[in-house]
Amino acid sequence: MSDPAYSSSGSAAPRAATRLSSCIAPRLSAGNRLLLALPRLLALPCLLALSACGESSTENVGGAGGSGGSAGAAGSGGTAGVAEVLSTTEASIGPVAADIGEEDTVCIFKRMSNPAGFVRNIRGHLTDGSHHMIVYLSGETEEQLEPQHCGGFSGIFNLDGGIPGLDSVDIPVFIAQQHEAQVNLPSDPETGKPLGFRVEENQMVRIELHWFNTTPKSQQVTGTVEFDIAGQEQDVIESSFAFWGTTAIDIAPHSQFTTPVLFQRALTDTKGFAVTTHQHQLGTNMKIWKADGTTVSDDKLLVESTDWAEPPLKILDPPEFFDVGEGLAYQCSWDNTSDQNVGFGEGFGDEMCFLWMYYYPSNGFDLCMHFNKGAQNGVCNHLTR
């Protein structure tokens, strides 16, 4: 943490994290929660020297929901042209009263009504006044149906002394950044086998809703997620989710700023099949390339998003295979028109630079963060890459 953060004003990186009690930690900002998690990520080599490090199962779950119910649905796709038989279940958060110009992040936990199996399609629906919704599979055992303040990305850092992403109670599987968002998990082009997220019977989910009412009137904000689920007897390749980004953001007032090209190695012998970006309101551009370092070429550009509010989910067809040392490079740009210095944080007045990628076969949720500009690669929960 001694290296300076990327900065248009030359300020130093955030101070070192200190461990706080569990009664204080839930109130921390996303940036401080990341700093609290950093010593655990950095301690991984020591832990591995003492014992083998187990990865969290994709059977862990998180999120929230309102009402849930199963209904038979005929799906398309399947192996060898055979149509899938899917059941559909849904969960909702809200309505949440949103005054003009106000914002908050709220969460619920909801046990869905579903058979055990594999999620093949996910749909998200957001009303006016929302910014984004993250859906997690959760290991919680008790429902919490009333939306409660929880802080941005808090599901990722909901853990008790473990490693984020390996020991997290909640594992993200979906982010909705548009009023209508959808991901249909494809089949592997080599084997023809469908991809899916494993879910338990009556899966507990966590829904995290970040709302910011920029409309001219008060709103009742809601978010809904729907899962189409194939039976557990199906021959499915399990998929998972990668969350990579940087916290080293420092933008001077009335200035434009672009990060260096940052590179993150992927898990070797995996394939990415969809990717999206995430910035806040000062974001003007985010690019993602297939790469093996910070030197990038236009022919490897996968995504360029200039829409911070509703960035597209890019389906990679065919999926991108990651050999040893390969991964994704990314770069973010902003235009700070305010009178304030802007840094990393969960609030709408703060900024972010993240990419989300769906990949397979699953090695569990993959979390990597760049905390300073000097790092060639991010700090990750999976050391073997």
Q: Are residues 107 and 186 in the same domain?
A: yes
In a domain, 58, yes or no: no
In a domain, 14, yes or no: no
CATH of the domain at 154: 2.60.120
Contacts of 307 (CB under 8 A, 6+ apart): none
- What is the model's pLDDT at position 55? 33
- What is the model's pLDDT at position 1? 37
Q: Are residues 297 and 375 in the same domain?
A: yes
In a domain, 63, yes or no: no
Query: Do residues 245 and 352 lie in contact, with contact meaning Cβ atoms separated by under 8 Å?
Result: yes
In a domain, 191, yes or no: yes
Determine the longest span between alpha carbons in the chain, in angstroms. Answer: 59
In a domain, 132, yes or no: yes
Domain that holds residue 146: 71-238
Q: Are residues 226 and 260 in the same domain?
A: no
Q: Are residues 224 and 262 in the same domain?
A: no
Distance CA 278, CA 352 (A): 7
Place of tokens 């930690």: 25
pLDDT tens-digit profile, the chain (385 residues)? 333 333 333 333 332 222 222 222 333 444 444 544 444 444 443 433 333 333 333 333 333 333 333 333 434 455 545 677 899 999 999 999 999 989 899 999 999 999 999 999 999 999 998 888 999 999 899 999 999 998 777 767 655 555 655 666 788 899 888 899 999 999 999 999 999 999 999 999 999 998 988 889 999 999 999 999 999 999 999 999 999 999 889 999 999 999 999 999 999 999 999 999 989 889 999 999 999 999 999 999 999 999 988 888 999 999 999 999 999 999 999 999 999 999 987 777 889 999 999 999 999 999 999 987 666 678 888 877 8
In a domain, 10, yes or no: no
Q: Are residues 113 and 208 in the same domain?
A: yes
In a domain, 4, yes or no: no
- What is the model's pLDDT at position 166? 64
Distance CA 352, CA 152 (A): 11
- What is the model's pLDDT at position 151? 74
Q: Are residues 197 and 98 in the same domain?
A: yes
Domains in the chain: how many in total? Answer: 2
HEC secondary structure over the chain: CCCCCCCCCCCCCCCCCCCCCCCCHHHCCHHHHHHHHHHHHHCHHHHHHHCCCCCCCCCCCCECCCCCCCEEEEECCCHHHCCEEEEEEEEEEEEEEECCCCEEEEEEEEECCCCCEEEEEEEEEECCCEEEEEEEEECCCCCEEEEEECCCCCCCCCCCCCCCCCCCCEEEEEEECCCEEEEECCECCCCCCEEEEEECCCCEEEEEEEEECCCCCCEEEEEEEEEEEEECCCCCEECEEEEEEECCCEECCCEEEECCCEEEECCCCEEEEEEEEECCCCEEEEEEEEECCCCCCHHHEEEEECCCCCCCCEEEEEEEEECCCCEEEEEEEEEECCCCCEEECCCCCCECCEEEEEEECCCCCEEEEECCCCCCCCEECCCCC
- What is the model's pLDDT at position 62? 32
Q: Are residues 228 and 244 in the same domain?
A: no
CATH of the domain at 302: 2.60.120.230
Q: Are residues 39 and 82 in the same domain?
A: no
Residue that terminates a domain, selected from 217, 238, 259: 238
- What is the model's pLDDT at position 291? 97
In a domain, 12, yes or no: no
Residue that terminates a domain, selected from 209, 238, 267: 238
Plot region of 200 (φ>0 → left; ψ -120 to 50 → alpha; else → beta): beta
Residue that terminates a domain, selected from 208, 238, 268: 238
Q: Are residues 38 and 118 in the same domain?
A: no
Q: How far is CA 227 from CA 117, 123, 137, in A?
A: 11, 7, 12
Q: Are residues 281 and 253 in the same domain?
A: yes
Distance CA 148, CA 340 (A): 29
Q: Are residues 217 and 287 in the same domain?
A: no
Q: Are residues 36 and 85 in the same domain?
A: no
